[in-house]
Amino acid sequence: MITASQKPINEIIKLVEPYKKVLILGCGTCVKTCFAGGEDEVAVLASTLRLSFKKKAMPIEVEEMTIERQCENEFIQEASEKMARNNVTLSLACGAGVQAMVKRFPKSIVLPGVNTTFIGIQESHGVFTEECSGCGNCGLGIFGGICPVTRCAKKLLNGPCGGSQKGICEINPETDCAWHLIIERLTSLGQMGNLRIYVPPKNWNTSFSGGPRKLIREDHII
Amino acid sequence: MKTYSHLHEKLSKGEFAVTGECGPPRGANKEVVDKKIKLLKGFVDAVNVTDNQTAIVRMSSIAASVHLVNAGLEPVMQMVVRDRNRIAIQSDIMGAYSLGIRNILCLSGDHQKFGSQPDAMNVFDIDSVNLIRTVRDMRDTGKDMSGYELDVAPQMFIGAAANPFADPFEYRVIRLAKKIDAGADFIQTQCIYDMARFKEWIRQANDEGLTDKVYIMGGVTPLKSVGMAKYMNNKVAGMDIPEEIIKRMESVDKKDQADEGIKICLETIEELKGLKGVHGVHIMAIEWEEAVANIVKQAGLK
C-alpha cells in the first residue's frame, strides 16, 4: 500500500483558513488502512476544524465525504456535486489521489491534507515500514526477497557497509540492517552462493532518475 | 597493472608500508593542510586525505590532495559515493589524476544523517564495490563506464576499506573477496583494538588466499584519553573498542592517558608486523598528527 500521515493540524488550518466552505474528502483504500485519510479520520478532522473555527469565530463550513479511491475516475465522479458546492477540497488521499482529482476537476482547488510517505506494509498494528521504491527493475530474486535499494540507507548492492552492528543499521537503532536480513535469509534458504554474486551498477533509467514515468499497456488502450 | 604510486612501489617490494591521515579543514585555509603536511612528511609513505568525513562539509579531498602533491607528500585521495553520481565520479578521478594524484581509496561514505547537514539528499548511484571496479576498468581497459576510449586513462593505485569488526562477521571476508575481485590493490582496515577478532579475520583471508592478491594495511588510531575511547565506542559507526582497552585507559592518570594510548597503539603495530597477510599499517591519528612521528619512530618503521 501507499502510506501517508496526516499533516499537523496547524498546517491544515493555515491551508483552509482563506476559504468559506471546505470539503474534506477521504479515500477509502491505502490511506484508510494506514489511519491517515479514511472515513474515521475525515470525521475526526472535520470536528477538530469546526471546533477550531468556532473558537476563532471564523464562519467556515466543513463538509465531509469519503470515496473508495481518489486515484480512479470511476470513484472520483461521486464527489463532483459536493466539490461544486464548496470553495475548496482538502483531500486526505496520497499525492497521486490529489493529482487525479486536479486532473478531473481542473477548475477546483484541491489541497493536500496528508504527507504521502512510502510504499510499505503494516508490520504490526500501527507500525508501517517502507519496502519498495518502485525502481522499475526488481532485483528481489537474488536478494532473498529483501530489497537493499529501499531498505539499505546507502542502497548498497554488494553487501553491508562497515556500519552494520548486531543486525542494526548505523543510521538508527530502530532500523534493521537490510544486508543482515538478506544474509540471514539467504543462509536459511541455503542460497549463500548469491552472497558472492557481483551486482553491477544499477540502471536507474527505469526509476525516477529517468524522469516522470508512464506505463503504457497497448493491449488495454481503447 | 602499471601505476606511478610510491606506495605501490614500496608494497610491491614487500616492505612494511606506513600511511597516515589528513582531514581537510572546515574552510578554505590551506595553512591548516600545510601544518599537517609538516607533521607527517618524512614519516609516512603516503597520507589519506578524507572526503567530507562523517558527512561534515570540508575542503574537498581533491584540492587538499593537490596541496600534498605540491609539498612532495604522496596523497591517497579518499572518494565516497555518497555525494557524487557516476558522471561526477569518473570526471573527478580523471581530474585528480591530471593533478598528480596517484592513489585512491574507494568508500561508501558515512551517511549524511551523522553530518552537519542531515537535510541533504544523498546519491549512492553506485556502491563502493562498483566504484572500485570503475577505477580499475578505467585504468586497465582505458575506457570509461560507457566504453568510451579515454585519451589518457588514470593509472590509479586502488584502495578499499574493510571493517573486520562490523557484523555479520561471517560475511566480512566474502565482502573483502568481492572488493578484491572488483579491483582493489590494497586494503586499509578499520581501527584495530580487538586483536583477537582481527587475527581471526586475517586467518580467514589467508585461508581463502586473499592476502596473496591484495596488500592489507591494518588500521590503528592512538587513543588520546579514556573519553575519546568511550566516544568512539559508542558514537562512531562501525567501531568496537573492547572493555579491557577502556579499562586500561581508565587505570592511568588523566595526564598519562595519551602516553598509554600511544603505548597501546605501538603494541598493536608490533603484533601486526608479525602477522602473515599484513603488509603495512595505516595510522589514523585523528586531529593528533603530532603523534605520528613519535609512533613511527618508536615502532621502528623509519
Query: Residue A113 is part of a domain; what is its CATH number?
Result: 3.40.50.2300
A102 and A177 inside one domain: no
Residue A82 has pLDDT above 90, yes or no: yes
Interface test with A, best of B123, B130, B131 (most A CBs within 10 A): B130
Q: Using the beta-carbon criterion (under 8 Å), do A196 and B171 form an inter-chain contact?
A: no
In a domain, A103, yes or no: yes
Average pLDDT over residues A101-112: 96
A11 and A49 inside one domain: yes
Question: What is the identity of the amino acid at B42?
Answer: G
Predicted pLDDT at A156: 97
| CATH code for the part of the protein at B6-298 | 3.20.20.220
In a domain, A127, yes or no: no
Cα separation, A153 vs A167, in Å, equals 14
Residue B210 has pLDDT above 80, yes or no: yes
A35 and A108 inside one domain: yes
A100 and A24 inside one domain: yes
Q: Using the beta-carbon criterion (under 8 Å), do B167 and A155 form an inter-chain contact?
A: no
A19 and A85 inside one domain: yes
A109 and A146 inside one domain: no
DSSP B165-180: TSS-HHHHHHHHHHHH
- With a pLDDT cut of 70, the percent of chain A lying above it is 100
In a domain, A125, yes or no: no
In a domain, A216, yes or no: no
A10 and A72 inside one domain: yes
Residue A168 has pLDDT above 80, yes or no: yes
Predicted ipTM beyond 0.85: yes
A17 and A92 inside one domain: yes
- CA quadruple B38, B41, B42, B48: dihedral positive or negative? positive
Classify the phi-psi angles of A57: left when phi > 0, otherwise alpha if psi is within -120 to 50, otherwise beta. Answer: left
Average pLDDT over residues A192-217: 95
Residue B3: band (very low, low, confident or very high) from pLDDT cuts 50, 70, 90: confident
A138 and A99 inside one domain: no
Predicted pLDDT at A209: 92
What is the number of domains present in chain A? 2
A111 and A137 inside one domain: no
Per-residue model confidence as pLDDT tens digits over B235-248: 887 788 999 999 99
Q: Using the beta-carbon criterion (under 8 Å), do A158 and B178 form an inter-chain contact?
A: yes
Q: Using the beta-carbon criterion (under 8 Å), do B122 and A180 form an inter-chain contact?
A: no
Predicted pLDDT at A171: 93
Domain that holds residue A191: 133-208
- Of A118, A150, A179, at which residue does a domain stop? A118
Domain map (residue ranges) of chain B: 6-298
A144 and A79 inside one domain: no
Mean pLDDT of chain A, nearest integer: 96
**Of A154, A159, A171, which is closest to B178 when you measure between CB atoms?**
A159
Helices (H), A152-218: 178-188
Residue B66: band (very low, low, confident or very high) from pLDDT cuts 50, 70, 90: very high
Q: Could you give the C-alpha distances from A84 to A45, A49, A77, A106, in angstroms and in order? A: 21, 20, 12, 12
List the A2-6 sheet strands across, edge first: A2-6, A114-124, A127-132
Q: What is the pTM of this model?
A: 0.95
A151 and A96 inside one domain: no
